[in-house]
Amino acid sequence: MRENGAEEYIPENAPPLNEEQAIANLTSPDTGLRYYAAWWLGKFRVNSKAAVDGLIAALEDEADRTELGGYPLRRNAARALGKLGDTQAVDGLIKCLSSSDFYVREASAQSLEMLRASDAAPSLMQLLSGGVAAAVQVPGRPHLVQPYEAILEALGAIGAKEAISLIQPFLEHPLPRVQCAAARAMYQLTLDASYGDRLVKALDSDDLKLRRVALSDLGAIGYIAAADAIAQAKVENSFKLIALKGLLEHQLPSLDVSLSEDTIRLMNLMDALL
Amino acid sequence: MTKELIRAVESADSPALMVAAVQKLAAAKDEAAIPTLIAVFGYNNPTAAVAAVAGLVELGEVAVPQLLSQIDDYNYGARAYSIRALSAIADPRAIDILLTAAATDFAPSVRRAAAKGLGNLHWHKLNDSQRASALSRCLETLLNISTDSDWSIRYAAVVGLQALAKIPDLRSPIQAKFKEMLISDTEKAVCARVQLAQLAM
């Protein structure tokens, strides 16, 4: 449990927490309590200064280690900081991109994406060095040498156009999930429909998990041409609704919306999935 | 004939054969197919389940008693298909199950399907006193879940409320709720759906 990259961890006998207690628990002598507190602060989006400062400090925790040398508390702190939306965390998260722990690097890349941290581009690009040839599985571990999906997605989300030539080769990576992440980033950086269409094509894959990945990518980039393909994809309605919501929001620049033909068409598709 | 089609569904040994068998059984439009079509909801084959829902909706009211009595309390995937079928058939005998599902089911897919259905029941099948009470219970439930923490539940509540606003007496509380949602809701997608509902009113 502690070694994998599971997003959320809910202890069976978790103590009920409040904000103050959770922040205090980040430095508890009990590393289990620290780990849970970091998750809890992200889950309940506690973005007070004390919470953010406590989590940033937890990015350098040395006490909580796994058998394989991982840093569970750092992973949870990095995940939480992405959810809190405070850009104070950016410097600490960029440092974490060079952590020895794969899951710390992955969580940090994901959170830098959520924080739209354009300052992270050089460090993210560094992790792509060696290109596709270097992007291989770590022997005996369930992951590649770097968290390529998270890195590619982050570079796309922060608009790192300087990374295009590094990202493009990953369209041919042997793993379809990595190809999808590259297509998603390439679309965001170039707005070239051929990259959106690659993701639409992935909706026809035999692999349900990959179809879900492609749906979420299409939602994230708001690729409007995919609307009907999303509505018809062989995936659970909940995933399709979220993807169509992504498309819809992309068409709505602000809360003060005026409806267009496209937005109405999207909502009709969503209504039919309820 | 129907017996053979039922046997084909029960003995299908691949997802594709299952889909084809369910489509044929649904097309037969035979009441004898109802239990088998409902059972398909639990087979974890979404395409077959969608075909089974379509077949049951086509059969309409005659399928309602079995749909009501055979709801799967232990499989939320299956339950969502039952609720979708009941919502689409729109027989008011389903009102209690739809109200409970919309308000208290733990599965968002079930709640969304129920919320949509609550706006569209065939009210004219109820007598005057039944109708007044049914409408007020539906309105109350939809207004309540329009402040749920899950955006997709609020979205579905708007869809249900839009349909319910066809009843003249309910229009003004629904309009008031929509105005309030446009001010307070933080999800652009929900606000856009409110605006679409207002256009339709």
Query: What would the pLDDT profile of A110-141 be if each residue is shown by its tens digit?
Result: 999 999 999 999 999 999 999 999 999 999 89
Boundaries of every domain in chain B: 1-89
Q: How far is A199 from chain B (nearest CA, A)?
A: 22
Q: How far is B1 from chain A (nearest CA, A)?
A: 30
- Residue A265 — pLDDT band, cuts 50, 70, 90? very high
* % of residues, chain A, pLDDT over 90: 86
List the single residue in B109, B159, B195 with the smallest CB-CB distance to A257: B195
- Listed in sequence order, the DSSP H helices in chain A are 19-25, 31-43, 49-58, 72-84, 90-96, 102-114, 121-126, 131-134, 148-157, 164-167, 176-190, 193-202, 208-221, 227-232, 237-251, 261-271
Mean pLDDT of A175-202: 97
Q: How far is B37 from chain A (nearest CA, A)?
A: 19
Residue of B nearest to A269 (CA): B193
Mean pLDDT of A8-36: 82
Helix B128-145 / helix B108-118 crossing angle, nearest 10 deg: 140
Residue A67 has pLDDT above 90, yes or no: no
Q: How far is A268 from chain B (nearest CA, A)?
A: 10
The residue length of chain B stands at 201
Q: Which residues of chain B have pLDDT under 70?
A: none
> Where in chain A do CATH 1.25.10.10 domains reside?
1-115
Buried residues in B123-144 as b, exposed as e (16+ CB within 10 A): beebeeeebeebbeebbebbbe
Residues of chain B with C-beta less than 8 angstroms from the C-beta of A259 = 192, 195-196, 199
- Residue A6 — pLDDT band, cuts 50, 70, 90? very low
The predicted structure's pLDDT at residue A12: 52
Residues of chain B with C-beta less than 8 angstroms from the C-beta of A267 = 192-193, 196
The predicted structure's pLDDT at residue B1: 83
Hey, are the CB atoms on A259 and B199 less than 8 Å from each other? yes
A-B contacts at Cβ under 8 angstroms: 54
Identify the CATH number of the domain defined by range A121-190: 1.25.10
Q: How far is B129 from chain A (nearest CA, A)?
A: 30
- Chain B residues 133-152 within an 8 A CB cutoff of chain A: 151-152
Mean pLDDT of A237-250: 96
Q: How far is A173 from chain B (nearest CA, A)?
A: 30
- Listed in sequence order, the DSSP H helices in chain B are 2-11, 15-27, 34-40, 46-59, 64-69, 76-89, 95-104, 108-118, 128-145, 151-164, 171-184, 188-200
Picking from B188, B196, B199 by the largest number of A CB atoms within 10 A of its own CB, the best residue to mutate is B188
> Does B188 lie at the interface with A, CB-CB under 8 angstroms?
yes
The predicted structure's pLDDT at residue A17: 85
The predicted structure's pLDDT at residue A125: 98
- Residue A13 — pLDDT band, cuts 50, 70, 90? low
Task: Indicate the average pLDDT of chain A.
Answer: 92
The rounded distance, in Å, linking the Cα atoms of A48 and A28 is 19
List the single residue in A241, A259, A271 with the smallest CB-CB distance to B195: A259
**Which comes out higher in pLDDT, residue A4 or A57?**
A57
- Residue A231 — pLDDT band, cuts 50, 70, 90? very high
Residue A8 has pLDDT above 50, yes or no: no
- Residue A15 — pLDDT band, cuts 50, 70, 90? low
The rounded distance, in Å, linking the Cα atoms of B51 and B22 is 7
The predicted structure's pLDDT at residue A5: 41
Residue A253 has pLDDT above 80, yes or no: no
Residues of chain B with C-beta less than 8 angstroms from the C-beta of A245 = 151-152, 189
Residue A245 has pLDDT above 80, yes or no: yes
List the single residue in A234, A252, A274 with the smallest CB-CB distance to B46: A234
Residue A157 has pLDDT above 70, yes or no: yes
Token pair belonging to A190: 């170039």
The predicted structure's pLDDT at residue A1: 33
Token pair belonging to A159: 């608009």
Hey, are the CB atoms on B192 and A257 less than 8 Å from each other? yes
The predicted structure's pLDDT at residue A126: 97
Q: Check: CATH 1.25.10 for B1-89?
A: yes
Q: Which CATH number fits domain A1-115: 1.10.3720.10, 3.40.50.10490, 1.25.10.10, 3.30.420.480?
A: 1.25.10.10
